[in-house]
Chains A and B, each alone.
Chain A
Amino acid sequence: MKGFRRIALSLVLAVSLLVGSALPLVAANPTVSITVTAELVAITNSEDTWGIGAVVVDDVKYFSVDNVQDDDYSQITNTGSVTVDVAIQGTDLTGTPNWTLAATTAADQYTLFANKQATPTVYDVEVKSSAEYNDITAAAGLAVDGTNDWSMNFTAPSSFGGTEDGNEKSGTVTLVASKH
């Protein structure tokens, strides 16, 4: 009887060890803390429409009233209560066929590059559609009540995969603000 009890106890111990290894071994009832930082994240941007108009292969157009270079055409203002980074994110252009947003032009592949306020004539901020998007604000961020002038340029695909006569394309560019 004694021997049987020992075996049974060992089995219970072995089973609990096995169960224990299958479940996460976190401390019993750890103390969870939730910290909410009450700061206002808010921006405005002065210009939002851009009618690029008809384009041909390799055409370059600038974000401005008449599609010519205007380095401070649009202005972002930090209207919140905390310094922010403002990233720029693009999308493929939908139409028939779609044009893919990329780092370089190719067949049915277009590019968008923005400038930074500190170097207004240099359009080197690649507008991406992935999460690895770039900031158009300075490395130190955009301070409260600060402004950031910007523009961007568009380069049409180096060749068209289909017949493009009269086809319309549409897409969006999103300025995303978050705490610096």
Chain B
Amino acid sequence: MKNKKIIIGIILAMAIAAGSYFGVMHFKSGVPSLDEGFGILQSEVEFRNVYPGWSGSAPLTIINGKDRDRTFSISLEQPNPNKLKQFYQVFPEEYYSWITITEPEVSLKAGQYHEQVIIFAMPEDVHYEGKYTEVRIRVSDITPEGLVTLAVESRWYIITAELESS
């Protein structure tokens, strides 16, 4: 009997952990609501001093307005090369595989929000030191609609560690 309770407890804990990882709806304080449209809560994310073999993650919170249900696609996009910050360059497309969007498509009911993690993992065997780069995480409304669609972007700055002076 006691064992059964423990097993149920473990299953519950695993479900809660899986839920928070895979972005099941959370209802916590601090997330603003929107009457119309949609938005994201992370305007900028900076990973500074990353090095080969390192991995980490950052959240992406999508907030859907109260006006209607929507479906979103989440993708990596190049920033406009003419609008980069000084000393920054476009994060190369060939390295997009370092960034994992855990849920590339999300459907939300009116007034709901959703949180997922975006994982950055730099492979062991790459030479990409001392770079200041930018890539965008774009959230697009792909609900079938008219000609004009909306998207919002989180600006991701990825700065790789400098070479060690020998």
Question: Chain B residues near A48 (CB, 8 Å)?
Answer: 145-149
Query: Is there contact, CB below 8 Å, between B40 and A25?
Result: no
Q: With A32-B49, A87-B80, A132-B80 given, is the CB distance from A38 to B149 under 8 Å?
A: no
Q: B102 to nearest A CB, angstroms?
A: 16
Q: A179 to nearest B CB, angstroms?
A: 4
Q: Which of A35-54 contact B (CB under 8 A)?
A: 35-45, 47-50
Smallest Cβ-Cβ distance to A35: which chain B residue:
B46
Interface presence of A162 (CB below 8 A): no
Question: Chain A residues near B36 (CB, 8 Å)?
Answer: 44, 79
Q: B120 to nearest A CB, angstroms?
A: 9
Q: How far is the CA of A171 from the CA of B150 in the complex (A)?
A: 14
Q: How far is the CA of A30 from the CA of B160 in the complex (A)?
A: 10
Interface presence of B9 (CB below 8 A): no
Interface presence of A94 (CB below 8 A): no
Size category of the A interface is 35 or more
CB-contact partner of A50 in B41, B147, B152, under 8 A: B147
Question: Chain B residues near A28 (CB, 8 Å)?
Answer: 164
Interface presence of B19 (CB below 8 A): no
CB-contact partner of A179 in B43, B127, B147, under 8 A: B43
Query: Is there contact, CB below 8 Å, between A36 and B152?
Result: no
**Chain-A contact segment, one of B21-29, B53-61, B103-111:** B53-61
CB-contact partner of B150 in A34, A132, A177, under 8 A: A177
CB-contact partner of B77 in A82, A131, A171, under 8 A: A131
Question: Chain B residues near A40 (CB, 8 Å)?
Answer: 32, 39-41, 43, 63
Question: Chain A residues near B148 (CB, 8 Å)?
Answer: 45, 47-50, 74, 172-175
Show 8 A/B contacts (Cβ-Cβ < 8 Å), sorted by A. Answer: A26-B164, A27-B161, A41-B39, A44-B37, A47-B148, A82-B43, A172-B147, A177-B150
7 closest Cβ pairs, A-B complex: A42-B39, A49-B146, A44-B37, A48-B146, A39-B43, A178-B153, A37-B44
